[in-house]
Amino acid sequence: MKPIRGQCACGEVAYQLERPPLYVHACHCTRCQRETGTAFALNAMIETSQLTVLRGHAQFAKLPTDSGNRHWAACCPRCHTLLWNAHGSRSPVIVYLRVGTLEAPQAWPPQAHIFVRSKLPWMVLEPAVPAFAAYYDVAGTWPADSLARYAEAKAARAAKAARP
């Protein structure tokens, strides 16, 4: 597979995905609306082990979420383009990469819409794409190969953490 490349608006931070995303969803929560300045965030979930920074270094900020928790947001230190976010820690198993930072974002349409309970009322969703009031059940929604990759990534993270 050819790597999937992306970068921030100014090009200071460039990255590539070594594999296709696990899953792509459009998040309509009010926090994603505020962070993106638009109707939703289009996120591609990818294992951190499959995300390689080619140039520059992301700057991290801890931002609030609608649940009251916080997530880490990685952005360019120069142009402040938000590149991805991570829930729980700065080194999670997967990150939520902003599809708009990819070189070919048109290749990654949403496979689901989430938090549509806070969707802007004028936003019309395509009926063929599943929509969820809040988050979805990953095990019941993601394709089998993505679930297997996610399980492998979690196992590798656990094995690495168990090493002395």
Q: For residues 67 and 156, what is the distance between their CA atoms, to the nearest angstrom? A: 28
Tally Cβ neighbours within 10 Å of residue 16.
Answer: 17
What CATH number is attached to the domain comprising 42?
Answer: 3.90.1590.10
Domain limits for position 41? 4-162
Task: Tell me the two tokens of residue 25.
Answer: 């969803």
The reported pTM is 0.92
Q: How many domains does the chain have?
A: 1
pLDDT per residue rounded down to tens, the chain (164 residues)? 789 999 999 999 999 999 999 999 999 999 999 989 999 999 999 999 999 999 999 999 888 777 777 788 999 999 999 999 988 776 789 999 999 999 999 999 999 999 999 999 999 999 999 999 999 999 999 999 999 999 999 999 888 888 87
Distance CA 67, CA 57 (A): 29
E strands, the chain, are 4-7, 14-17, 23-27, 41-47, 51-55, 59-64, 70-75, 82-87, 94-98, 112-114
